[in-house]
Chain A
């Protein structure tokens, strides 16, 4: 199980945080600070695994962003890397050549993409097509909904 996923810029700015375990605000802030420092301090050739307070942290850098997640003791680290990679692929497909700014200005969508891939800390959909389709369909529902409510409002006027 993934315990949390953090997206952090190279400068250490948090771009997205998703917690699948329950921690207090204080604990979260501490974890973010310390784990970020550990991950940012590592060099490119090193392995993608860290140990933080005896727990396994898997991280990977994509361009200017670090994707960091903590997993359970018995989890497969290589598998987690694949899950993270799948998330990056999905973002890329959704935004079309995704960059850090896309995630800053559209963080809601970034969360939506993640929610179609991982819930309760576990991967829910192995097919790229299905996951992508679900997000697009949700977006379509949202637009349709806006449209109908706009028409209704216009009628009322």
Chain B
């Protein structure tokens, strides 16, 4: 059946028992409406469109009514126009071509004799006008802004808003007219005019300057709203026109920002609003909230600022969750300007983490990240870790990142840092980003004192829980890498040490492989881990056989990456001695600037014993035993800085020299490694110098001594000169102003492409050179690491040195760009030279 009018149709649809019935009815009715449209039935058109709009609301297609709406709009009858424009607003949008057909109707109706018809046209324009339509009708709108009718003026102002949003470059059309509107007595016109001006000053800086002169006027308007008594027309719970007040405050914020004079003009009224507005209702709070935002953005005096922050403090302790939400939201903006003011409310903010409302939790969480500093890091990270246990899954990834970032930035010592990350891995190991994991592994690699401790903790954690992906990955890697440390030293658990056998370790790792949680990545890690374990002297031969067996099993794995790894690792087993060289402990990876920053190296290591539980305990940072490795690491980050200096933005050499001087004591430690007397012979350090440095975690892993197998097999070192016969030659790189620099390259046959270079600095005259800064850069295809200089001041007769390491593609030539600056004889010199004087073949021959 066909329903004769809208009411009947709605009743019919509502009486449908099932969704299918409803759908069938709608389809039937749509078809009837369509048929009626085709017959051009003018009398039914109004009715049909009304029914169609209802069908549209239920989610069924109604686009076929678009043209009919246009026809309705063209009708002289007001009721047809009303429905037609409603239909256009619902069925059309600015991206549809049919809309261009509406332009003419709009133009006609904007000049209609009935103000309500004009109102309909303006309303439709303001809601859906396209860019083209805005250009076409901008003049009409401008004209209507000057209408004598307030009903039309206020609507035209918001049409103006639509125009400037769609076509920002014709904003200046409206400047003069909207200036007049700001003096309007009618609140509706004033409100819309302020809205329009707010948009224009954001688009165009010139317009912003022009409207600064309106500040006194706006202040007067606001003042009269605040001081007039009860006005029935505009009263909302005892406040006169809060809507207008909020809009004025918002415009004042834009006009006062960055302008001391304008800010000065509005100071008093802002103070008045802030003190006199009743904060017991939402209306009053909406004004206070807007006032706070304005005070914080303009050049307000300190008293006013304090007042604003106090209002936020009051908001924070409000029982209404809405108010607390906006307070947290606003404090987020304040925290970068005035952290101390926000720190005072730390406890309330932390309480909000436990609020039942996810919106509040989200805001509080964001704010607590911003509050962490080196004084409160222990407390806040403890709170965040506690929250991590109960947090919504959607927060976890961000939380783990933020906790680890905070730990990295503010950790009081490395022990605490490692403990924190371990806890994160345990609690939310499935929500840890890859960068966090690799930063953790870098951290452990750079902290030899805690490698056993970390490996123990991971061993125990992995035993307890195989389901946390990142924990499994970290544990597999670290146990694989440092298996001999836990096998020799035992597992440190709650102050007691338990010895474990190699079988225990391998059982555990195998159980990872068999667990249902093992994914592709985990199995890759496992294969690499067990291969390394097998190569360690602490692993007995039956266990090595088990590992070989597992590898053999995976040589036919269907997943390509696993198969490839298994095949490669299995063939390593046949290579005898070479295998141990390849699989020995990794050098600590280069410290990179990742999203989560650089591993900080200035921290004391912290105690290596004790319970994991005392994350925030008052342990005394232990300064012992951190010299060598951490100095290495500083040197590396230092080298990173030097490389950064060669970046396009900065040519300032100051940051390079300062850290070098700060690190002088550690630098000396390092230089000891290179031999007792810096002022040695011109024959550069021979490999014997290195051989006395048993630093497994040295930044320069490929020191010939440790890399060389005692008896190099022909297969391992083909076609490279025997190191014993290798002559170390110095090449002059720089000789100017009585400063001479030579470079001595040294290569290792097992690591083709890695060139160690020793730079030697001398003064040839009798004056000493001070403040020497030596920077080097390599082409993009090569990598460079530098240690700090032995001494930035070169006395006559002394030789200062600096060690560099270049990793270049095999067969390429090592080229360096050097930048040198120094003071000599009271004069400062800065120089840049390119150096490519090394013999070819230094980086090995590609075919070998």
A residues neighboring B (CB under 8 Å): 14-20, 22-24, 29, 42-43, 45-51, 76-79, 81-83, 104-105, 107-108, 111-112, 115, 119-120, 122-127, 129-130, 134, 137-138, 141-142, 145-146, 149
Give, as a whole number of angstroms, the nearest-CB distance from B319 to chain A.
Answer: 10
A82 touches B283 (CB 8 A): yes
CA distance A23 to B290 in the complex (A): 30
* Nearest residue, chain B, Cβ from A16: B57
* Alpha-carbon distance between A23 and B93 when the two chains are bound, in angstroms: 8
B77 pairs with A107, CB closer than 8 A = no
Closest to B122 in A: A119
Asked if A108 contacts B154 (CB within 8 A), the reply is no
Closest residue of chain A to B162, judged by CB? Answer: A120
Name the one of A23, A81, A126 contacting B282, with C-beta atoms under 8 angstroms: A81
B661 within 8 A of A: no
Task: Verify B188–A124 contact, CB threshold 8 A.
Answer: yes
Known: A45-B356, A111-B89, A138-B116; 8 extra A-B contacts, CB below 8 A, are A42-B357, A47-B322, A77-B322, A78-B285, A108-B82, A122-B195, A138-B119, A146-B79
Does B10 belong to the interface (CB within 8 Å)? yes
**Residues of chain B with a CB closer than 8 A to A46's CB:** 321, 356-357, 359
Q: Which chain B residues numbered 286 to 318 have a C-beta less than 8 Å away from chain A?
A: 286, 289-290, 293
Q: Are A47 and B360 in contact (CB under 8 A)?
A: yes
**Contacts A20-B127, A77-B325 hold; do A127 and B155 have CB atoms under 8 A apart?**
no
Judged by a CB distance under 8 angstroms, whether B114 is at the interface is yes
Query: C-beta contact mask, B187-204 vs A, less than 8 Å → 1, else 0?
Result: 110011001000000000
Given A76-B246, A111-B86, A146-B79: A120 touches B127 (CB 8 Å cut-off): yes
B191, A123: Cβ atoms closer than 8 Å = yes
Determine whether the beta carbon of B289 is less than 8 Å from that of A78.
Answer: yes
A120 to chain B, nearest CB (A): 4
Cβ of B236: which chain A residues have Cβ within 8 Å of it? 82
B244 contacts chain A at the CB level, 8 A cutoff: yes
Asked whether A49 lies within 8 Å of B322 as measured between CB atoms, the reply is yes
Q: Across the two chains, which residue of chain B brings its CB closest to A14?
A: B57
A43 to B246, CA, bound (A): 29
- Find residues 187-223 in chain B having any chain A CB closer than 8 Å to their own CB: 187-188, 191-192, 195
How far, in whole Å, are A47 and B356 apart by their CA atoms in the complex?
A: 10
> Is A107 in contact with B79, judged by CB distance below 8 angstroms?
no
Interface check B233, CB cutoff 8 A: yes
Interface residues of B in 140-177 (CB under 8 A from A): 151, 154-155, 158-159, 161-162
How long is the Cα–Cα vector from A31 to B122 in the complex, in angstroms? 27
* Known A111-B86, A134-B151: A78·B286 in contact at CB below 8 Å: yes
| A112 contacts across to B, CB distance below 8 A | 82, 86
| Contact, CB under 8 Å: B322 / A48 | yes
A122: nearest chain-B partner, CB-CB: B195
Secondary structure of the B side of the interface?
Answer: helix
The one of B7, B53, B322, B357 that contacts A81, using a Cβ cutoff of 8 Å = B322
The complex places the Cα of A125 from the Cα of B153 at a distance, in Å, of 11
Asked if residues B116 and A141 are in contact (CB atoms below 8 Å), the reply is yes
Q: How far is the CA of A76 from the CA of B282 in the complex (A)?
A: 12
Q: A29 — which chain B residues lie within 8 A by C-beta?
A: 59
A78 touches B161 (CB 8 A): no
Please name all residues of chain B whose beta carbon is closer than 8 Å to the beta carbon of A15 when the two chains form the complex. Answer: 57
Subset of 23 A-B contacts with CB under 8 Å: A14-B58, A17-B57, A46-B356, A47-B321, A49-B359, A76-B290, A82-B236, A82-B282, A104-B14, A108-B83, A120-B127, A122-B158, A123-B195, A124-B158, A124-B191, A124-B192, A125-B191, A126-B187, A126-B243, A127-B187, A138-B116, A145-B78, A146-B79
Chain A residues within an 8 Å CB radius of B154: 124-125
Option from A14, A108, A137 in Cβ contact (under 8 Å) with B59: A14
Question: Given A82-B243, A124-B188 in contact, is the A119-B93 Cβ separation under 8 Å?
Answer: no
For the complex formed, measure the closest distance between the CB of A76 and the CB atoms of chain B, giving whole angstroms.
Answer: 5
Q: How far is the CA of A14 from the CA of B161 in the complex (A)?
A: 29
How far is A19 from B88 in the complex, measured between Cα atoms in Å?
Answer: 12
A-chain residues with CB within 8 Å of residue B89 when the two chains form the complex: 18, 111
Are the C-beta atoms of B234 and A51 separated by less than 8 Å?
A: no
Q: Which of B14, B244, B250, B360 contacts A126 (CB 8 A)?
A: B244
Which residue of chain A lies nearest to B61 when distances are taken between CB atoms in the complex? A25
